[in-house]
Structure 1
Amino acid sequence: MSQICEQCGAPLANLRLPTVDFSPSSRDFTSLLASNEVPLDSDLPLIREIISSGQSQVDMLSSQIYNLQVKLNQLLRRRDDVANNVHRHQAILSSIRRIPPELLCGIFLMTLDSNEDAAKNPPWYLGQICRAWRHSALSFPILWSSITVPSVSSGDSGLVSLVEAQLLRSANAPLDVYWRNIKSGINPHLAGVVLAHCSRWRTLCLEETHATPSLHPLNWLGVVRGRLHRLERLETNIASTVGNVIIPDVFLSAPKLHQVYLTDERLLNASPTFSLPWRQITHHRGKFSLQEHRRILEDAPNLVSCTLIFIADGTGFPPGTVITLPSLRSLSLGELRFLLQLTAPMLSELVSLSTPPTSFAILLPFVRSSGCTLTKLVLMRCAICPELIDTLRGLPAITYLLIEASNGGPHSILFDAMTISGSPSDLCLNLSFFAYGHRFRDYARDHLLAMVHSRFPSTSLAVLRIFHDGTANPPGAWARLQPLREQGLDAEYLGRSRAPLLLQHARIV
């Protein structure tokens, strides 16, 4: 087999390399080459001959190199063309062509689930993907089961056609319907198209981003009464004042309705008041007056998780009022004083959105009277005080603890109390997740680090989150945590942009 040129890939037998004459001359000029001596006049003709002969060889070699480069470029282009042709034909044998349509669409559904905005928007862009995938997507009803109904003018027939097409592709799949910017002047044709499929609604979200002072009737929902056979989740996110939204009582006959979220995730908007089948509700989030919350809880004995935000109206519970929620496991409260009227023997997760010093006189008595075992405790806008430490001492089963400090100190008393010393008085020995938030430059960082070092790896602590509003020490101040991270502690320092995500996840139980 002939040898191949490493530069251009051509057989060496086909290359005619020039002969280069490096033979020494009859006169040795080594001494002149290594010094600055002036050559003899008799040597000048010979030196000029060497230069002339060498320059001719340089020109000849340059010409050969140029020709070889031209040939090499041609070979490279030919190789790329052949490689592209091979790659195109390899795609024919790709195993992805043999993926079952169900699995392919399942992967796409996972993508939608990981992106909330994508999940709420019709996936019209699917038409841009390859033909086989497009066919699978168009014939997979679940991909088309999320319907967004925007606020549009009555003459927007193009949008109506798109919604009709999506409903047709969704076949008989349960529908998640997001009704944005609800108002009395809705597009009747578009509303009629969506309302006709109300027997397939699984989720209904009613959103209004602009508050209006006048009454806001949603009478057009009346046609769904008695037809919500699949409805499981109801959401309202309405920027309005109390009493100016009228929702018809059409949900009392929804047999599968278990989740009702009647205010936004940031807990800003007052909840509309309307009739619901509270006895079957298991998950609830609402912003009502104290009396309305009382009425709801008395009618909802099967609640498992709820978030209760209070609208101040100057009223209170009658003396001796006690509401028992035997199935409640997760509770988020705007004010802990509500615990005085509550018994929840199964409660394991408690979130306080405002925790002044007076709150701690309520928390432990509630836990003891209910006989519950708290494992997750979130104290937002929390006062750092001795009463906090006494409360933690009475909650030995805590595994998840998040504290957002509301005052400037003394932070050190908390961290010193939580430092493991091996004594029976050590706090929260089962703690696996600890998060601490602050807005202050002086928050006893050294005491906090000493506490963490005492807990890891000797205790179950596995996750540490420190968050702040962006004005305190930068992440570089936490270099002392690096050895612990290298040992396996999941530790992060969250700034202004990421801290809200942690808080939102923690407070919405």
Structure 2
Amino acid sequence: MLPQESRLKSPPASRSCLQSSSATSSSSQSTNRLTPDSTAAIPSACDGTYLGRSAMSAEAGGKQPLVSPRSGARCLSVEKQLRRARASDVDAPLSVCFDSRSMPDIPKPLLDLVLPTSQRWVGLQLRNAQLELCDDDWVASLAGKLPRLERLEIFDCANWLPPEGVFTTAPRLTRALTTSADTGEVSPPVELPWAQLTHYRGALEPAEHIPHLFLAADTLVECVLGRAGMLDVILQDDIDPERIPTPILLPRLRRLHLTSADLLDYITTPALEGLYLWSELWGIDDPDYWALVPFLQRSGCTLRSLALFNCDFGPTFTAELFNAVPLLEELLFEGTRVESGERMFAALSHSDDVSLLLPSLRELVYGYPNGTEPTETVFAAVKARVPTMRRFLLYEAEGWRVPEGDSRIRELKEMGVDAQWVSSDHPVVQRKHWGDF
């Protein structure tokens, strides 16, 4: 396990991982639901509730992926389900989940049942913290046998060295997640077909992301670039300019979530609509904004959504940043100090005869520091935006306290604003942090 300071920001243990509610499979057929007859024999870390709400499950039309059983009896259950699936459609797509964290090896009888169906797999999840100790020849045997695979999830496998050439030979693979939102573990060194990926989530040293961005530059639509290790900066010697010329042009990238603002110095994103930035070491401060504003100006993108987690920056950056995103519609700001929030909301509430900063802002989410209360400046900024402002969410950063009966919230509701106090694991907050694909 990584030291706490070298891990991605993890939600509290009781939070469920971010779920996808809008993803749709490119397959025209509905994916078969293959589950054991009961959840009694399913490892508790991957229970039926989790699977039914997993991103892969939603991607496959809301069906549960196949769970690896613990015993021969469970294999019989899987065999019956496969038989039923073949009876209805021998070519129906399958989403498969191998989760064997409670056992060192996946039973051979199960492999003999499931591996022959690999030609039908559209989704594959490998979730096993012990894979590096297992016989993974069965994974290697999948090379060239995944013609329909569209989505790959590899979770809890940070120390695993995957066999080479397995997933690079999957011609339809476009979505790869190599770290999970609920734990933030380091990504394993898996080979991926970067030139065809449209969606990617991984956690690596910041400089390690750059070669992947270069290879996936023409296809990426959304990516979450987490941090692994103790550094969240890129050193000059980390990048070979002759091998990878920068800045890298990412012409199709629409949404970018990242922990290291230094990466912004190395990319240009003219189509970017959503930028979601956080840092787990020191927070977002002035040096990060020295990269942020020039990046926005260089890209010339029409940013519609911006999230700044764990944020503390000087007063000179407030107006400069907002002027760089004049058409912004959604803003999430999570402050580390009361002063940062006060500066931001004071700027948002100020207007004169000439202009109002962020005139198109319709959704505002504020994560205020633990142990503090939002001031009247915060609510005044929201009132100044009515009727354009449609939603206003408040949450205590890293906390769970949800006040009730606040008269200021009631007043905003009466003005037509969907105003509410929420917990820090609210879907809107989680989606901006971890993505939704």
For the aligned pair, the TM-score class normalised by the smaller chain equals: 0.7 to 0.9
After TM superposition, list the pairs within 5 Å mapping 1:167-182 onto structure 2: 167-171=82-86, 172-181=91-100
Partner of 2:365: 435
Amino acid at match of 1:361: W
User: Any idea what SS the aligned residue of 2:138 has?
Assistant: helix
Secondary structure at the aligned position of 1:338 is classed as helix
- Cross-structure match for 1:300: 216
What residue is the counterpart of 1:413 in the other structure? 343
Aligned to 2:312: 383
CA distance in 1, matches of 2:292, 2:417: 31
Deviation (angstroms), 1:206: 0.5
Preserved contact between residue 326 and residue 357 of structure 2 (Cα < 8 Å):
yes
* Residue 249 of structure 2: aligned partner: 324
Q: CA, structure 1 residues 291+415, in 2 after alignment: closer, same or farther (shift >3 Å)?
A: closer
| 1:57-78 deviation per Cα after TM superposition (whole angstroms, max 9, x unaligned) | xxxxxxxxxxxxxxxxxxxxxx
Q: Is the 8 A contact 2:259 2:277 kept in 1?
A: yes
What is the aligned counterpart of 1:266 among 166, 174, 182? Answer: 182
1:226 is displaced (CA, Å) by: 1.4
Answer yes or no: is the 8 Å Cα contact 1:147–1:178 preserved in 2.
Answer: yes
Per chain length, whose mean CA-contact separation is higher, i.e. which structure has more relative contact order (CA < 8 Å, sep 6+)?
2
- With over 3 angstroms needed to count, the CA separation of the structure-2 counterparts of 1:429 and 1:145, relative to structure 1, is closer
1:157 to 52, 67, 72: 72
Deviation at 1:217? 5.5
**Secondary structure of 2:384 counterpart:** helix
Structure 2 counterparts to residues 29-48 of structure 1, below 5 A: none
Alpha-carbon distance in structure 1 between the residues aligned to 2:308 and 2:354: 25
Match of 1:396, SS state, is coil
Task: Tell me, yes or no, if the aligned pair for 1:384 and 1:406 is still in contact at 8 Å.
Answer: no
CA distance in 2, matches of 1:500, 1:245: 35
Distance 1:407-1:211 versus aligned 2 partners, 3 A rule: farther
C-alpha contact (below 8 Å) 1:184/1:216 kept by paired residues: yes
Shift in Å, 1:225: 1.8
TM-score of the pair, normalised by structure 2? 0.76
Are the equivalent residues in 1 in contact too, given 2:65–2:97 (CA < 8 A)? yes
Aligned to 2:155: 237
The answer as to whether partners of 1:441 and 1:473 remain within 8 angstroms in 2 is no
Query: More displaced, 399-408 or 379-388?
Result: 379-388
Gaps of 5+ in 2: 1-19, 23-31, 39-59
Question: In structure 2, the residue corresponding to 1:403 is in which secondary structure?
Answer: strand
Shift of the 221–375 alpha-carbon distance from structure 1 to 2, 3 Å rule, reads same
Q: Report the Cα distance in structure 1 between the residues aligned to 2:356 and 2:65, rounded to whole angstroms.
A: 53
Q: Unpaired segments of 5 or more residues in structure 1?
A: 1-111, 126-141
Residue in structure 1 matched with residue 264 of structure 2 by the alignment:
339
Change over 3 Å in CA distance of 1:332–1:143 after alignment to 2: closer
Q: Which residue of 2 aligns with 1:25?
A: none
Specify whether residues 311 and 277 from structure 1 end up closer, same or farther in structure 2 by C-alpha distance, changes over 3 A only: same
Q: What letter is aligned with 1:252?
A: T
CA contact (8 A) 1:436 1:466 kept: yes
- Contact 2:270/2:301 (8 A) holds in 1: yes
In terms of fraction of residues, the more helix-rich structure is: 1
Percent of residue pairs bearing the same amino acid type:
29
| Deviation, structure 1 residue 120 | 8.2
Larger-gyration structure (1/2): 1
- Alpha carbons of 1:289 and 1:470: their partners in 2 closer, same or farther (altered >3 Å)? closer
Is residue 312–residue 340 contact of structure 2 (8 Å, CA) maintained in 1? Answer: no
For the 8 Å contact 1:377–1:401, the answer to whether it is kept is yes
> Aligned with 1:246: secondary structure?
coil
* Residue 484 of structure 1: aligned partner: 412
Of 188-197 and 407-416, more deviation after overlay is shown by: 407-416
Partner of 2:3: none
Measure how far apart 1:240 and its partner are: 3.2
SS at match of 2:212: helix
Q: Which residue of 1 aligns with 2:141?
A: 223
Change (3 A) 1:456 1:248: same
Alpha-carbon distance between aligned partners in 1 of 2:312 and 2:363, rounded to the nearest angstrom:
20
Asked if the contact 1:462/1:490 (under 8 Å) is kept, the reply is yes
Describe the SS at the equivalent of 1:379: strand
Within the candidate set 281, 301, 310, 1:372 is matched to 301
Q: Give the partner amino acid of 2:223.
A: C
- Let me know the Cα RMSD of the aligned residues: 3.0
- Residue 124 of structure 2 contacts residue 153 of structure 2 at CA under 8 Å; is this kept in 1? yes
List aligned pairs for 1:16-415, cutoff 5 A. Answer: 122=35, 124=37, 146-150=64-68, 152=70, 156-171=71-86, 172-181=91-100, 185-208=105-128, 210=129, 218-241=136-159, 244-266=160-182, 268-301=184-217, 302-312=219-229, 316-318=238-240, 321-354=246-279, 355-386=284-315, 387-415=317-345
Tell me the alpha carbon deviations over residues 288-328 of structure 1, each in whole angstroms, 9 at most, x when there is no partner.
22343122111112111101112247653246632211111
Does 2:427 match 1:504?
no
Q: Report the alpha carbon displacement of residue 446 of structure 1 after superposing the two structures with TM.
A: 0.7
CA distance in 1 between partners of 2:62 and 2:419 (Å)? 40
- Give the count of matched residue pairs: 368
- Structure 1 distance, partners of 2:229, 2:318, is 26
Deviation at 1:407, TM superposition (A): 2.0
How far the C-alpha of 1:178 sits from its partner, in A, is: 0.9
Residue aligning to 2:15:
none
Pairwise CA distance, 1:425: 4.3
Structure 1 residue 334 displacement after superposition: 0.8
How far apart in 1 are the matches of 2:215 and 2:398?
44
Secondary structure of the 1:503 match is helix
- SS of the aligned residue for 2:190 comes to coil
Distance 1:203 1:471 in 2: 35
Q: What CA distance in whole angstroms lies between the structure 2 residues aligned with 1:378 and 1:222?
A: 40
Match of 2:406, SS state, is helix
- Partners of 1:222 and 1:470 in 2: how far apart? 41
* Shift in alpha-carbon separation, 1:285–1:471, aligned structure 2, 3 A: closer
SS of 1:196's partner is: helix
Which digits, 9 at most, give the CA deviation of each residue in 1:117-143, with x for residues without a partner?
xx9872747xxxxxxxxxxxxxxxx99
CA contact (8 A) 2:68 2:106 kept: no
Task: Give the secondary-structure state (helix, strand or coil) at the position aligned to 2:80.
Answer: helix
SS in 1 for 2:96: strand
Task: Deviation per CA, 1:397-444: give whole Å up to 9, x if none.
Answer: 110100111123253222111015243342111001100001244455
Q: Distance in 1 between matches of 2:359 and 2:291?
A: 23
